[in-house]
Structure 1
Amino acid sequence: MGYIVRDQWQQHYADGKGFRQLGERERALLAEHTPVPDGGGRALEVGCGAGGLAVYLASIGYAVDAVDFADSALARARDDHADAVGVRWICLDIERDDSAELHEDGYDLITMRLMYPFLRDRSRVLHALGERLRAGGALVIITPTIEHTPEGRRDIALDENEIRLLTAGWKQVERLDADKLAALVLRGPCHAHTTAVEKRPTTGHALTGAVAVVTDKAGRVLLGRSTRGMWELPGGKTSGQESFEQAAVRELAEETGLTASASNAYAVTMLVDDSHGVPRLTAVIRITTWSGTLTNPEKRLFERWEWHDLHALACVGDVFTPAVQFPVKFFCSAS
């Protein structure tokens, strides 16, 4: 049930389907670990669905902005909780829509219940939500984990590697058990500085390759989370007699499913360094036009691909060295 498309979620709620109801253990953990600040507090519930958690947060004293991108979910929430006070229902895609409707002064509590695994650009969304926390505020992610999820449904759960990644950029992390759900209470965003890291030692006397710089309509840059635990631009070694531009286009298709023509690929600079003592020449190729749907064909090499905001490129953690060498300012000018 790994829905991504908005229409699928629209139908899900229109058919009367939902998710596991908010449990007593979850209520108790939220009340204990994220009490309403003196004088009142404001909460943001991301992916509110039919509204159970949003209404509970309002009942303990929060003023709540409850957002979901499915109109059918919000229609059910309004019908099921017609008497609820203190909840503002907002139709919003937290990944793609303009967030101007959210409260400009930020939030004391942000919750994401049973929805984080469905996000495509997880790192970007988490970074942006962390920026919306008020001083002392908490972001709470309640999620299934692999160990308590049947094998056929593990696309809706997080493994330990993913949990380590999402908790790495926070000063304080509490992991609590909520009836076989993991409740992660995150405070104090302290996003990790970008660090250049290498892959395993290469073979041969020298190495030539190309990396592809691709942006979406919003100017976000495409990076892949590799199974080596680093972010990478699409790219790889040149093959045979192909040009750097041809190599970048080929690697883009092989790694992401996106297609482009070499006529829309332009070498903007060359990077010279060494990989474990082996000389390396890497061409940075700007691809201006592409088509297709972003996928992950090479699952043995990449966990997923995400679009990253330009302003967040300096704090994404470990990045493959050639991508780090290329100045962030290029991305800004290229978009």
Structure 2
Amino acid sequence: MSQVTQDDWDTHYGEGRSFRPLGEAEHTLFRDLASASPRGERALDVGCGVGELARHLATLGYTVDAVDYAASAVALAVAARTPPASGTTRFVRCDVERDSLDDLHSAYGLIVLRLSYAFLHDRTRVMHRLRERLSCGGTMVVITPVVDAVPAERRNSALDEDEIALLSAGWRTAERRDAEGLATLVLRDPASCAVAFGGKGRPSPHALTGAGVVVTDDAGRVLLGRSVRGVWELPGGKNDGGESFVEAAVRELEEETGLTAEAADARLLAILMDSVHGIPRVTAAVRVVAFRGEPAVREPNLIHRWEWHDVADLPALPCGLFTPSAQVLDVVWPGRLPGLPPVHRHIVAEDGGNPNPRRP
């Protein structure tokens, strides 16, 4: 299913459409949260649309920042604003995935994503950045439709149980409430645990040789796929007979993500050797320094989706990294992943000089 674009949202709101109004269960939830919070505490409404929730939070006593990346939504929210009984609202056009968050406050007692989380592309990275702005003792609330409760054509606006589990994994307290066709997750106390390393089950018999591909965007974020087997992994895979590691890396990158690169823009950095279930495994660490296109899921039987991740977040990814991918990442960013399983590392010196593994 195609990704909903900013132009789509501007058209949606510009035509006078919105989303379902707040239900009674939501009114009860936010009333309970407000009663346990100090008056005037700051709240952040992410994906505010035309501002119904933001205005409601203000009437409960919050000082509200409400953001949306659709300019038409923000304009309608500002036009509909009336002086609340208490608290204040501020509407800001901001794309939380791509724009700087410097215009937002550094600490919020409440952060809400209502009917917006499923539309985020790099969900994990965005949640890391929002968690950093949650005050000590604060609450994150995600309200989302679930896949089983919506028609097939609207499933891009909903989460399945695996995505809900992934979202909840980074919190010590994750309370779920289901009402009116929505799942409401009340998340508190972010958990900062070390990333786990693991495999994806016993492989089929094979001389396990292949490549792991490190590719970064203009901001230096690294591309990882959410595997159907529950771990994050780099693009890459087995090399075909007679195919070099670099050729395999370029081919697999295109087959899995749709990104195209030339072999001349791929650098073989190292050969890594370990074993899995007693079978020797050889992984080539390949760095792609130039590419064309935008990542897309090309093999849904293997990967749920691709996300750009900040390198600083790698040590704390929920649900862990595929071990060979972690070992390749350690070649490019040494020391970022403490506790990495052992591997035999053979640094490659190519003709034309050694590649710089930190090259953006």
Partners of 1:34 and 1:138 within 8 A in 2? no
Residue of structure 2 equivalent to 1:167: 168
| 1:1-335 alignment, distance < 5 Å | 3-35=3-35, 37-84=37-84, 86-104=88-106, 106-204=107-205, 206-316=207-317, 317-328=319-330, 330-331=332-333, 333-335=358-360
**Alpha-carbon deviation of 1:334?**
3.4
**Alpha-carbon deviation of 1:152?**
2.4
Residue 283 of structure 1 aligns to a residue whose secondary structure is: strand
Moved more, 62-71 or 317-326: 317-326
Residue 105 of structure 2 aligns to a residue whose secondary structure is: coil
**Alpha-carbon deviation of 1:192?**
4.1
Counterpart CA distance in 2 for 1:239 and 1:231 is: 23
Partners of 2:39 and 2:61 within 8 A in 1? no
Q: Which residues of structure 2 form unaligned runs of 5+?
A: 335-357
Counterpart CA distance in 1 for 2:163 and 2:149 is: 15
Query: What CA deviation, in whole Å up to 9, does each residue of 1:248-278 have, x standing for no partner?
Result: 1111111111111111000112211012111
Residue 213 of structure 2 aligns to a residue whose secondary structure is: strand
Aligned-residue Cα RMSD (Å) equals: 1.7
**Alpha-carbon deviation of 1:293?**
2.1
Residue 72 of structure 1 aligns to a residue whose secondary structure is: helix
Q: Which amino acid aligns with 1:269?
A: A
Query: What CA deviation, in whole Å up to 9, does each residue of 1:116-167 have, x standing for no partner?
Result: 1101011111121111111110000000012211222122111111111100
**Alpha-carbon deviation of 1:202?**
2.8
Counterpart CA distance in 1 for 2:68 and 2:118 is: 15
**Alpha-carbon deviation of 1:9?**
0.9
**Alpha-carbon deviation of 1:2?**
6.3
**Alpha-carbon deviation of 1:286?**
0.4
Normalising by structure 2, what TM-score? Answer: 0.89
Tell me: CA distance 1:178–1:33, structure 2 relative to 1, closer, same or farther (3 Å): farther
**Alpha-carbon deviation of 1:10?**
1.1
Tell me: CA distance 1:325–1:65, structure 2 relative to 1, closer, same or farther (3 Å): same
Counterpart CA distance in 1 for 2:7 and 2:203 is: 45
Partners of 1:313 and 1:328 within 8 A in 2? no
Normalising by structure 1, what TM-score? Answer: 0.95
Q: Which amino acid aligns with 1:93?
A: D
Partners of 1:214 and 1:287 within 8 A in 2? yes
